[in-house]
Structure 1
């Protein structure tokens, strides 16, 4: 009897699924039809104003269908996607970002490739002022030194996201930039290979970045960031140079902030000559003095995990690396990898402690509470940047607590 009921239930569910499948297919077909109309009626006028010709536009989208496998899609007429509980490395587990096995592998490959491309890198460094080790570190982090598979059609990804993602305005700008690239270069759309996020080639440039920063360094008349190593490396250097790289300066140094000196000193807007920080007792983790030319120049305190991890004195070049990817941990990864490649150093000396464990929504509530108390946290976005971290330290000191400069569940409870 039970077996019969279970069999009947399975058959009923199968029938219901079969009945729903044509409806779902029809819904997707309807969205595809809307997409075709959107291309012609909505995107084409803006593309024409950007200087894209009709033949280039039509060739780019000939036979193209939406990529339904991409994340963060919001198809018209479909239920809104559920908001995911967001947790990122910056406030979940910073130490997990720095896989020692991965860093060692990238450093070994990076040293070998530095030698192989030494002449090219020397010319790039002379022209743009960016150290070869930094360029190679970014190359390795972004595309495994050009070895990573980059299988997606950037045009398809960007068009899909411009039409039905949770951030359509951003991707509309990028699909228009991709069309401009096709217009100027004359290459077919199939050559623009990118990631699932639309970032292209070995440097992982979005199309707008390609238009601003890609360069032809090998002299063949085209800026080819997909197949040319010289073009890819020079384009990375040009990106950093145009973002303000200071020639002759390092990116930063692991440091020790002594007891009695608050971690709330952090932030690029609180820069001062590095010698002023050493006068407070802040030293390099190695015990060696800071280079004399660095002591006279401006530096900034950086405590990405508050007192729960490594501490740093960084230069303006650290924030230039963040222009490439706006993440403290990304910039630290690049800096450490570059040092491993150039100088053979290892991991940061101070370990990443047990911190985090909070969702982005939790941190947003903490930020809102600090804002109500008059602190500038840089916006209640759930991202614990330097303004949030130092505000935490200042609130803790004002309320008789030892500054920790990092969000914790206990702190959120205290602020409620």
Structure 2
């Protein structure tokens, strides 16, 4: 999970969270014994268990990051300016040119626009340049042992062991975020099991070192989430004076022509009057924040399946409109 997925962060003093992990070192060893026993019962090989669980210890930094508390809320304008930066757009355009044949083939296979796959790749890991440096098994084991959301992270840890046992990646290469999100698309292990693909046909689903597999997995994720081919995600609009902002919610879906009758207009001057496509007016900054408004459609909500944030989905849409 990239930092842009978080609207705010509060850093607890490192010493306040490091001590408990060290104090419970013995119990962590017992925890790993239980994990190993469960893994063996589920058919994971002794070799995989030994390689993955040997020489790992509670990671104090992971615990520190997990215990951060919100300090405030990042505004839409601040998030947009960071996420939809000119550098990210320029890099996306270069990636579009460098990977054009691959993107065209993936677009044809998954019926998801290449520009959307690129935009998610760009926000998640800056096109693969920031995939995370944590040992995923160690991070997940730390979180599963530490107690908060233990069952969730234990399930992710078991999925990570199954991925290793299947030979998709070596233990030393299975690196990602402090919370266990992996590779270029930042998939959690259970998402990897459901949605990662072997797009390059080499027998492995390698979202760490294969651009084909990484981008194909993003495309498959969106396709399986209900992407509608040929429909746009949304578009920026202008609201009339006096517009009732309580009507600006994703749930308030109406035919576009109805929004046109209410005085909603496009920023580029094109007409909305003739369309019966269902859409919702959405203010990413909320009714009291920035008044930048968007008319969003079904595919906007599909992007939110990847990350359930209006900020995130809008940023993906805006980048996609600029990179290709």
Indicate which of 33, 36, 58 corresponds to 1:66: 58
Native 8 Å contact 1:73 1:165 kept in 2: no
Distance 1:38 1:303, change over 3 A: same
| Number of residue pairs aligned between Structure 1 and Structure 2 | 306
Distance 1:165 1:257, change over 3 A: farther
Give the match for residue 33 of structure 2.
Answer: 40
What's the secondary structure of 1:63's corresponding residue? Answer: coil
Distance 1:203 1:85, change over 3 A: closer
Give the unaligned 5+ runs of structure 2.
Answer: 1-14
Q: Deviation of residue 165 (structure 1)?
A: 5.0
Answer 1 or 2: higher relative contact order, Cα 8 Å, separation at least 6. Answer: 2
CA shift digits 1:342-396 (9 cap, x unpaired): 2xxxxxxxxxxxxxxxxxxxxxxxxxxxxxxxxxxxxxxxxxxxxxxxxxxxxxx
Give the match for residue 43 of structure 2.
Answer: 51
Give the unaligned 5+ runs of structure 1.
Answer: 1-20, 75-80, 343-416
Q: Deviation of residue 33 (structure 1)?
A: 1.0
Native 8 Å contact 1:257 1:263 kept in 2: no
**RMSD of aligned residue pairs (Cα, Å):** 2.4
What's the secondary structure of 1:69's corresponding residue? Answer: helix
Normalising by structure 1, we get a TM-score of 0.68
Give, in whole Å, the separation in 2 of the partners of 1:146 and 1:112. 13
Give, in whole Å, the separation in 2 of the partners of 1:228 and 1:181. 16
Give the match for residue 331 of structure 1.
Answer: 313
Give the match for residue 133 of structure 1.
Answer: 115
Give the match for residue 72 of structure 2.
Answer: 87
Native 8 Å contact 1:203 1:232 kept in 2: yes
Normalising by structure 2, we get a TM-score of 0.86
Which 4+ stretches in 1 moved above 6 angstroms?
Answer: none
Q: Map of 1:130-169 to 2, 5 A cutoff?
A: 130-148=112-130, 150-164=132-146, 166-169=148-151
What's the secondary structure of 2:61's corresponding residue? Answer: coil
Give, in whole Å, the separation in 2 of the partners of 1:273 and 1:312. 14
Q: Deviation of residue 287 (structure 1)?
A: 2.0
Give, in whole Å, the separation in 2 of the partners of 1:265 and 1:228. 44
CA shift digits 1:242-285 (9 cap, x unpaired): 11111111110111221343122233432122122112221112
Give the match for residue 238 of structure 2.
Answer: 256
CA shift digits 1:204-233 (9 cap, x unpaired): 111111111111111111111111111111
Are residues 1:308 and 2:301 paired?
Answer: no
Q: Map of 1:8-407 to 2, 5 A cutoff?
A: 28-41=21-34, 43-72=35-64, 84-89=69-74, 93-99=75-81, 103-148=85-130, 150-164=132-146, 166-185=148-167, 187-290=169-272, 295-305=275-285, 306=287, 308-309=289-290, 310-342=292-324
